[in-house]
Amino acid sequence: MAHEPGKIRNVAVVGHRGVGKTSLVEALLFQTGAVNRLGTIEAGTTVTDWDDDEHKRQMSLSSSLAHLEWHERKINLIDAPGDPGFQGDAIAALRVVEGALFVLSGVMGVEVGTSRLWARASELDLARVLFVNMLDRERADFFRTLTSIKEQLSDKCVAVHLPIGSEHELTGIVDVLHMCAYESPDGEKEGDPVPIPDELRDQANEYREKLLDAVVETDESLMERYLDGQELDAAEVATALKTAVTRGEVFPVACGVATKNLGTHALLDLLVEGVPSPAKKGPPVQVEGAATSCFVFKTIADPFAGRINVFRVLSGSVKGDSTLANVRAHGKERFGALMVMQGKEHTNETEIGEGDIGAVAKLKETQTGDLLLDTDRGSVELPRLGFPEPVMSFAITPKAKGDEEKMATSLRRLAEEDPTLMLRRDEQTGEQLLSGLSQMHVEVGVDRLKRRFGVDVELHPPRVPYQESIRKEARAQGKYKKQTGGRGQYGDCHIVLEPIEGHTGYEFVDKIVGGVIPQSFRPAVDKGIQEAMLSGDLAGAPVSGVRVLLVDGSYHNVDSSEMAFKIAGSMAFKQAYEKADPVLLEPIMEVEITVPDDAVGAVNGDLNSRRGRLHGMEPKGGMTTIKAEAPMAEILTYSQSLTSMTGGRGDYHMHFLRYEEVPTHVAQKVMEAFRKDREEAKV
Ligand X SMILES: Nc1nc2c(ncn2[C@@H]2O[C@H](COP(=O)(O)OP(=O)(O)OP(=O)(O)O)[C@@H](O)[C@H]2O)c(=O)[nH]1
The answer to whether 649 contacts Mg ion (rule: CB under 5 A) is: no
The entry of ligand X, Mg ion, none near residue 259 (CB within 5 to 8 angstroms by kind) is: ligand X
* Contact status, residue 115 vs residue 104, Cβ threshold 8 Å: no
The entry of ligand X, Mg ion, none near residue 465 (CB within 5 to 8 angstroms by kind) is: none
**676: left (phi > 0), else alpha (psi -120 to 50), else beta?**
alpha
By CB under 6 A, the count of residues binding ligand X is: 23
Sign of CA dihedral 388, 394, 395, 400: negative
Other C-beta atoms closer than 10 Å to the C-beta of 548 total 24
Out of 259, 261, 368, 489, point to the residue binding ligand X (CB under 6 A).
Answer: 259
Q: How far is the CB of 101 from Mg ion (least distance, A)?
A: 12
* Contact status, residue 567 vs residue 493, Cβ threshold 8 Å: no
The answer to whether 649 contacts ligand X (rule: CB under 6 A) is: no
Q: How far is the CB of 93 from ligand X (least distance, A)?
A: 12
Out of 5, 8, 10, 22, point to the residue binding ligand X (CB under 6 A).
Answer: 22
The answer to whether 651 contacts ligand X (rule: CB under 6 A) is: no
Tell me which residue of 320, 319, 325 sits closest to 289, measured CA to CA.
325
The entry of ligand X, Mg ion, none near residue 19 (CB within 5 to 8 angstroms by kind) is: ligand X
Q: How far is the CB of 21 from ligand X (least distance, A)?
A: 3
* Contact status, residue 539 vs residue 670, Cβ threshold 8 Å: yes
Out of 5, 20, 436, 445, point to the residue binding ligand X (CB under 6 A).
Answer: 20
The answer to whether 111 contacts ligand X (rule: CB under 6 A) is: no
Q: How far is the CB of 162 from Mg ion (least distance, A)?
A: 26
The answer to whether 325 contacts ligand X (rule: CB under 6 A) is: no
When CB distances to ligand X are compared, the closest residue is 82
Q: How far is the CB of 114 from ligand X (least distance, A)?
A: 11
The entry of ligand X, Mg ion, none near residue 134 (CB within 5 to 8 angstroms by kind) is: ligand X
Binding mask 82-101 for ligand X (x = CB under 6 A): xx------------------
Out of 10, 22, 31, 435, point to the residue binding Mg ion (CB under 5 A).
Answer: 22
Strands 318-319 and 8-14: unpaired
Strands (E), 232-276: 251-255
Whichever of 49 and 219 has its CB closer to ligand X, that residue is 49
* Contact status, residue 512 vs residue 553, Cβ threshold 8 Å: yes
The answer to whether 137 contacts ligand X (rule: CB under 6 A) is: yes
Q: What is the Cα–Cα distance from 311 to 305, expressed in whole angstroms? A: 16
The entry of Mg ion, ligand X, none near residue 133 (CB within 5 to 8 angstroms by kind) is: ligand X
Q: What is the Cα–Cα distance from 186 to 7, expressed in whole angstroms? A: 31
Q: Which stretch binds Mg ion (CB under 5 A): 16-24, 148-156, 279-287, 479-487?
A: 16-24
Q: How far is the CB of 145 from ligand X (least distance, A)?
A: 13
Q: How far is the CB of 341 from ligand X (least distance, A)?
A: 17
The answer to whether 261 contacts Mg ion (rule: CB under 5 A) is: no
* Contact status, residue 674 vs residue 429, Cβ threshold 8 Å: no
Whichever of 21 and 298 has its CB closer to Mg ion, that residue is 21
Whichever of 134 and 591 has its CB closer to ligand X, that residue is 134
Q: How far is the CB of 24 from ligand X (least distance, A)?
A: 7
Q: What is the Cα–Cα distance from 531 to 614, expressed in whole angstroms? A: 38
Q: How far is the CB of 49 from Mg ion (least distance, A)?
A: 6
Whichever of 260 and 566 has its CB closer to ligand X, that residue is 260
Q: What is the Cα–Cα distance from 17 to 26, expressed in whole angstroms? A: 17
Other C-beta atoms closer than 10 Å to the C-beta of 402 total 7
The entry of ligand X, Mg ion, none near residue 642 (CB within 5 to 8 angstroms by kind) is: none
The entry of ligand X, Mg ion, none near residue 530 (CB within 5 to 8 angstroms by kind) is: none
The answer to whether 133 contacts Mg ion (rule: CB under 5 A) is: no
Q: Which stretch binds ligand X (CB under 6 A): 17-25, 118-126, 320-328, 419-427?
A: 17-25
Q: What is the Cα–Cα distance from 549 to 498, expressed in whole angstroms? A: 8
Q: How far is the CB of 30 from ligand X (least distance, A)?
A: 13
The answer to whether 63 contacts Mg ion (rule: CB under 5 A) is: no
Q: What is the Cα–Cα distance from 481 to 327, expressed in whole angstroms? A: 60
Out of 21, 120, 208, 503, point to the residue binding Mg ion (CB under 5 A).
Answer: 21
Tell me which residue of 135, 382, 141 sits closest to 255, measured CA to CA.
135
Out of 8, 10, 23, 470, point to the residue binding ligand X (CB under 6 A).
Answer: 23
The answer to whether 59 contacts ligand X (rule: CB under 6 A) is: yes
Sign of CA dihedral 524, 545, 463, 680: positive
Q: What is the Cα–Cα distance from 62 to 82, expressed in whole angstroms? A: 9
The answer to whether 133 contacts ligand X (rule: CB under 6 A) is: yes
The entry of ligand X, Mg ion, none near residue 20 (CB within 5 to 8 angstroms by kind) is: ligand X
Residues with Cβ within 8 Å of residue 416, at least 6 apart in sequence: 299, 301, 307, 367, 368
What letters, b where the CB count within 10 A reaches 16 and e where it falls short, cover 664-673? eeebeebbee
The entry of Mg ion, ligand X, none near residue 264 (CB within 5 to 8 angstroms by kind) is: none
The answer to whether 78 contacts ligand X (rule: CB under 6 A) is: no
AA identity, residue 315: S
Q: Which stretch binds ligand X (CB under 6 A): 39-47, 403-411, 462-470, 512-520?
A: 39-47
What letters, b where the CB count within 10 A reaches 16 and e where it falls short, cover 296-311? bbbbbbeeeeebbbbb
Out of 60, 114, 184, 342, point to the residue binding Mg ion (CB under 5 A).
Answer: 60
Q: How far is the CB of 422 from ligand X (least distance, A)?
A: 23
The answer to whether 81 contacts ligand X (rule: CB under 6 A) is: yes
What is the phi/psi pair of residue 540, to 5°? Answer: 70, 15
* Contact status, residue 661 vs residue 583, Cβ threshold 8 Å: yes
Q: Distance of alpha carbon 482 from its chain centroid, rounded?
A: 59
Q: What is the DSSP string of 405-461?
A: HHHHHHHHHHHHH-TT-EEEE-TTT--EEEEESSHHHHHHHHHHHHHHH---EEEEP
The entry of ligand X, Mg ion, none near residue 136 (CB within 5 to 8 angstroms by kind) is: ligand X
Strands 172-175 and 161-164: antiparallel
* Contact status, residue 190 vs residue 268, Cβ threshold 8 Å: no
Q: How far is the CB of 277 from ligand X (least distance, A)?
A: 26
Strand partners, 345: 342
Judged by the rule CB under 5 A, the positions of this chain that interact with Mg ion are: 21-22, 60
Judged by the rule CB under 6 A, the positions of this chain that interact with ligand X are: 15, 17-23, 40-42, 59-60, 81-83, 133-134, 136-137, 257-259
